[in-house]
């Protein structure tokens, strides 16, 4: 590819017509400061060295790749490779971005971070970084999610963070972001909003992607060095889209590599109870960026539904909307039940318990892997581990009695 | 009369200006019409009619709760313009529409602007649209000669204040403090600095101060250095707690400082 057509080189604020800064004027100075700080930091050898060392000695990077032949057999005659982000410190990919932004927070001289969280993984990662760097930390979490992810609430509190249940709106991730934005507007002088996904106003979609791009950069290299080829498909689950873009980014200019994103279809793509933003949404503005979103004809955000708190979001990062329109990536819906069956399948065939979010990508591989020619290979981002989900899983499969 | 003329005339006469916010459809469309007409009759100088939205990031709890109720009670853009027209046909007060950007985007920016004008409003206040992202709206509002109110804040750079001043029409919405809507006892001294910053650009567009204003003393104080005070949450609380009568009384009380 020539430099002009490189998809990898796209750095915002716009991805095609998507992205931008649709936020109150009150936040513009903070976004400008963040962008300027990040632009300097990302080429500053001191910053790069510090980030690399933390990734190596605190997060545990590089994460390994595990081939899972027994699981792959469920999808046909293909090979499946897992990029093991579940083995990172705190148990998911979320820590990659959090460490980067926490370093930027220190650079900006701010002393307090706020974060939104759905599944609690980003909240836990943020609380972890706050403890490590000595920052005050407040995490906004929808009241519904504090109930279904109670263990992560306990983890955040143990780490010294304050967890504020959000009781307005649908009481899930979308409303947690609203509340975090309100806090940020009010306390922007000393506070950094440590946004946990590739959504939000510029520079977040680009910056968060960059901090997660280590996933794909490592994985691409590992595939070439350890196996001698690039995968035919790279796959990931998509809520806001951070783990997916983290894996996809290194492969954007490898035209032969297909990109598959799997959204939460909840109770089904033909019901109203899903979170399949790219498949079923329309273009609009939410949380500071233009992108696909689930909305009614008046532009009111529609509540999303998913068994997975981390995918239960009616928006998606603008770069995914752009990749969809370009047909560079394909996005599919995976129902609650398909995800839960895949979660069980990976656990029982390979002894790896994935997060419910991640299980959507695993189900997608089972569902669509058989469409690939014999001998094809899929690299999947195993974005998080399932420990946090044991209550939901236990209830779903009747391991905790007969409740479903 | 245009918004700007109303505010400028008041300033010339040395009178305080009061801009009042109320959400359409709260608690129902019919109720909101009566409430808005009562506010105008009781003395507000400019009415800011809000479009309820599912994700109002600039609003505090009082307005959030009110607009959530309006949506739960069936507020739709399809009948918003009838509500607007019912108000403008009964009052001579300039009426601006305050809306987050996505409802306008989905309705169609041009269609929204044309319907708004046809229903007798003078323009739009856009809390989550900065001039940098407003290309289509700037063009259409020029064509239709509509007011467009952008925000100026304590953190805005001189360059950004100049940009806001150069594209705003009707008035400029100076955010009094860093924060979201809702009454605060001590009005931030930052308000004076924002207004001074905007005035220093040499703009002739009036500057009104909003966020945190709840008493007649504050309305007075703000009007000593700005061209108007914007009040919202206090009016909603008044209506919530005491209906039209209480709302009317609070408007008169805030206006009475004159």
SS (H, E, C) chain B: CCHHHHHHHHHHCCCCCEEEEEECCCCCHHHHHHHHHHHHHHCCCEEEEECCCCCCCCCCHHHHHHHHHHHHCCCCHHHHHHHHHHHHCCCCCCEEEECCHHHHHHHCHHHHHHHHHHCCCCEEECCCCCHHHCHHHHHHHHHHCCEEECEECCCCCHHHHHHHHHHCECCEEEECCCCCCCCCCCCCCHHHHHHHHHHCCCCCCCEEEECCCCCHHHHHHHHHHCCEEEECHHHHHHHHHHHHHHHHHHHHHHHCCC
- Average pLDDT score, chain B: 95
Q: Do B58 and A185 lie within an 8 Å CB cutoff? A: yes
Domain B3-252 classified CATH 3.40.640.10?
A: no
Verify whether the Cβ–Cβ distance B102 to A21 is below 8 Å.
no
Interchain pair A300, B130: CB under 8 A: no
**Which element (helix H / strand E) includes A54?**
helix A45-54
pLDDT value of residue A404: 46
> Do the bridges between strand A288-293 and strand A18-22 make them parallel or antiparallel, or are there none, so unpaired?
antiparallel
Token pair of A208 as six digits: 């968060």
With CB atoms and an 8 Å threshold, state whether A187 touches B57: no
Quote the pLDDT of residue A127.
98
Q: Hey, is A338 helix, strand or coil?
A: helix
Using DSSP's 3-state secondary structure scheme, residue A323 falls into helix
Taken in order A287, A289, A294, A298, is the CA torsion positive or negative? positive
Domain over A61-91+212-396 is classified CATH 3.40.50.1100: yes
Cα–Cα distance for residue pair A42/A54, rounded to 1 Å: 15
CA distance B236 to B23: 8
Q: Is the pLDDT of residue B231 over 90?
A: yes
Using a CB-CB cut-off of 8 Å, the residues of chain B touching A284 are 102, 105-106
Cβ of B204: how many Cβ atoms within 10 Å? 7
Do domains A20-56+93-208 and A61-91+212-396 share one topology? The answer is yes
pLDDT recorded at residue B183: 66
B164 touches chain A (CB under 8 A): yes
Q: What percent of chain A lies above the pLDDT cut of 90?
A: 91
Q: What pLDDT score was predicted for residue B211?
A: 85
pLDDT (0 to 100) of residue A2:
44
Provide the pLDDT for residue B176. 82
- How far, in Å, CA of A94 to CA of B126, rounded? 34
The pLDDT, as a whole number, for residue A1 is 43
> Does the pLDDT at position A119 exceed 90?
no
Percent of all residues in chain A with a pLDDT value above 70, rounded to a whole number: 98
The domain locations on chain A are 20-56+93-208, 61-91+212-396
CATH class of A20-56+93-208: alpha beta
- Band (B187; pLDDT cuts 50, 70, 90): low
Chain B residues with beta carbon closer than 8 angstroms to that of A32 = 157
User: pTM (2 decimals)?
Assistant: 0.96
Strand B207-210 and strand B228-231: the pairing is parallel
Inter-residue contact B125 to B98 (CB < 8 Å): yes
Q: pLDDT tens digits, residue range B41-83?
A: 999 999 999 999 999 999 999 999 999 999 999 999 999 999 9
Interface check for B72 against chain A (CB to CB < 8 A): the answer is: no
Neighbours of A260 (CB within 10 A): 22
pLDDT, tens digit, for every residue of A344-389? 999 999 999 999 999 999 999 999 999 999 999 999 999 999 998 9
| Average pLDDT taken over every residue of chain A | 95
């Amino acid at each position: 590819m020539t430099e002009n057509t490189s998809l990898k080189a796209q750095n915002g604020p716009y991805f095609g017509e998507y992205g931008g800064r649709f936020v109150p004027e009150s936040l513009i100075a903070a976004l400008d400061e963040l962008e300027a700080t990040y632009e300097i930091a990302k080429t500053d050898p001191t910053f790069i060295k510090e980030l690399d060392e933390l990734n190596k000695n605190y997060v545990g990077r590089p994460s390994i790749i595990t081939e899972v032949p027994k699981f792959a057999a469920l999808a046909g005659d293909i090979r499946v490779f897992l990029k093991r982000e579940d083995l990172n410190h705190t148990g998911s990919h979320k820590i990659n971005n959090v460490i980067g932004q926490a370093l930027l927070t220190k650079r900006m001289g701010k002393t307090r971070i706020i974060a939104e969280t759905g599944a609690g993984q980003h909240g836990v990662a943020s609380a972890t970084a706050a403890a490590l760097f000595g920052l005050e930390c407040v995490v906004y979490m929808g009241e519904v999610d504090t109930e279904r992810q109670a263990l992560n609430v306990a983890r955040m509190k143990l780490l010294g963070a304050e967890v504020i249940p959000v009781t307005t709106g649908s009481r899930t991730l979308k409303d947690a972001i609203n509340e975090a934005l309100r806090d940020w507007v009010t306390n922007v002088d000393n506070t950094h909003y440590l946004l946990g996904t590739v959504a939000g106003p510029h520079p977040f979609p680009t910056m968060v992607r960059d901090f997660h791009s280590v996933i794909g950069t490592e994985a691409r290299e590992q595939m070439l060095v350890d196996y001698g080829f690039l995968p035919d498909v790279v796959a990931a689950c998509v809520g806001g889209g951070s783990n997916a873009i983290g894996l996809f980014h290194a492969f954007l200019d490898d035209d032969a590599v297909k990109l598959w994103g799997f959204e939460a279809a909840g109770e089904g793509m033909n019901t109203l109870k899903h979170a399949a933003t790219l498949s079923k949404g329309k273009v609009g503005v939410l949380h500071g960026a233009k992108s696909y979103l689930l909305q009614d004809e008046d532009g009111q955000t529609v509540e999303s539904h998913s068994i997975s708190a981390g995918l239960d979001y009616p928006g998606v990062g603008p770069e995914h909307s752009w990749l969809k329109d370009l047909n560079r990536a394909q996005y599919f819906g995976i129902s609650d039940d398909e995800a839960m069956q895949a979660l069980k399948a990976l656990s029982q065939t390979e002894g790896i318990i994935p997060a419910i979010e991640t299980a959507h990508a695993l189900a997608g591989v089972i569902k669509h892997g058989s469409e690939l020619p014999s001998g094809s290979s899929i690299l999947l981002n195993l974005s998080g581990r399932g420990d946090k989900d044991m209550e939901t899983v236990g209830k779903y499969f009747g391991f905790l009695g007969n409740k479903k | 009369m245009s918004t700007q003329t109303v505010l400028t005339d008041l300033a010339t006469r040395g009178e305080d200006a009061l801009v009042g916010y109320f959400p359409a459809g709260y608690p129902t469309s019919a109720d909101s019409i009566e409430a808005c007409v009562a506010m105008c009759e009781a003395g507000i100088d400019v009415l800011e009619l809000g479009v309820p939205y599912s994700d109002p990031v600039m609003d505090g709890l009082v307005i959030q709760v009110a607009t959530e109720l309006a949506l739960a009670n069936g507020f739709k853009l399809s009948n918003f313009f009838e509500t607007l027209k019912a108000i403008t046909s009964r009052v001579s007060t300039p009426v601006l529409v305050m809306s987050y950007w996505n409802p306008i985007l989905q309705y169609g920016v041009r269609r929204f602007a044309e319907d708004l004008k046809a229903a007798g409003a003078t323009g739009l206040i856009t809390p989550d649209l900065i001039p940098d992202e407003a290309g289509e709206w700037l063009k259409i509002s020029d064509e239709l000669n509509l007011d467009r109110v952008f925000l100026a804040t304590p953190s805005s750079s001189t360059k950004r204040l100049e940009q806001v001043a150069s594209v705003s029409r009707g008035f400029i919405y100076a955010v009094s403090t860093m924060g979201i809507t809702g009454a605060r006892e001590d009005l931030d001294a930052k308000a004076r600095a924002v207004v001074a910053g905007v005035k220093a650009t040499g703009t002739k567009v009036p500057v009104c101060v909003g966020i945190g204003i709840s008493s007649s003393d504050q309305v007075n104080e703000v009007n000593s250095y700005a061209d108007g005070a914007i009040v919202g949450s206090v009016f909603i609380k008044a209506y919530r707690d005491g209906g039209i009568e209480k709302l009317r009384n609070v408007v008169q009380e805030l206006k009475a400082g004159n």
